[in-house]
Structure 1
Amino acid sequence: MSFQGDVIGWVATHRRHHAFTDRPGDPHSPYRYGTHLRGQLRGLLHAHVGWLFRNDRTPPERYAPDLLADRDIRAVARAFPALCVLTLALPFAAGWAIGGTWVYGVTALLWAGLVRIALLHHVTWSVNSLCHMIGERPFRTRCHDRATNLWLLALLSFGESGHNLHHADPTSARHGVDRGQLDPSAAVIRLLERLGWVHDVRWPTADRVAARRA
């Protein structure tokens, strides 16, 4: 419903990004064109949105074979077009039901549909671009990996801008581990875990975090 592609393709691209972070093979590294100013500006645009328009397919057969083998996940992936329609139809229907006219429906479609999706996309793209160029790097990553923590994006990204820890410890369910760091995603995961809807969650421990400090 976020309009960011089907779940299998999304995961495959993300895993490829982790496999080749900020080096050749990374689908959306801002360092694709070098570290000089012109290259950085061009790379920032590429990492933010330009990579979506390149003919550089990420094969799920290589990067997400486990998801391809999962019948339920395949069903969710096939439902992507219908979910895109639903994510626009719901605000339109709610606006019409609350306001009583199609004008209210269109207004709701604009703000709760199109504007919401546009904002969500730019926040996600900013994690790809800004969170590899600007911010702090309190945790060690691989030699080419320049993922950062950017606190300005923490609330908008639901905690995903704690990107440095995510790259230092990709399986951690919490990205914001230091005092004052917001991570609403971790709170949602914790709630789902307590409801019994998810299991085998990998929460960070003090020793695990300390071992990854720069």
Structure 2
Amino acid sequence: MLNIDNVFSGYGNSEILHGVSLQVNDGEIVALLGANGSGKSTLINAITGFLPARGRVVLDGTDIAGRAPHQTFAKGVVQVSQMRDLFGRLTVLENLQLGGMRKRAGVNADAVKQRLAWVLELFPRLAERRAQLVGTLSGGEQQMVAIGRALMGFPRILLMDEPSGGLAPQFVQEIGRILQTLKQERSTVLLVEQNIGLAALTCNRFYILRAGQIVHEDQGSVLKAGAAELGRRYYL
């Protein structure tokens, strides 16, 4: 599905990633864990084309490394960034509908309507606030909108860049519930997180990134059983 093979990337003359390789299979949630500065967001930006990359980024057999962001999106790569990039003066519903306008090729209007109904069912809080301006929502509610808008794009793979970052515990739990639903739906997700506990509840497999290199990979069950020890080993 998605194969990252020996990818190097960074900012200007500063190389952050040093030969990263990982794989995300169809229908699984893969967590990419690591402390601040380990290179997690850099990898997401290299996959989506916001940063130049050396190496191979292969999606469904096609190497998309070096393509512009709109080209990777057309292939079904959809990102929920830390910045959220929402339209604060538009309503919740309008922001979601904008996500549907950026759908993948081959998705018709009826499918978009059905997807909108599904997203509002997935996010009851957004259904209640569909007419509210996004700029008046809390940070946690805005994160819900950002995830919902991404799902409106019918992603082949969803890249989530620290979705729990800076959120109150109630919204972290909500993120966990959404991820569990996506797992049941067999959605394909690359989840970038610092929160090991959240990742342990939802991922099929995980990788740990440290100083721009993969230093550990294993099954999600291993993370769930040994989250504390892995945290001490790789985060401290």
TM-score (norm 2): 0.29
* Higher strand residue share: 2
TM-score (norm 1): 0.31
* Higher helix residue share: 1
Larger radius of gyration: 1
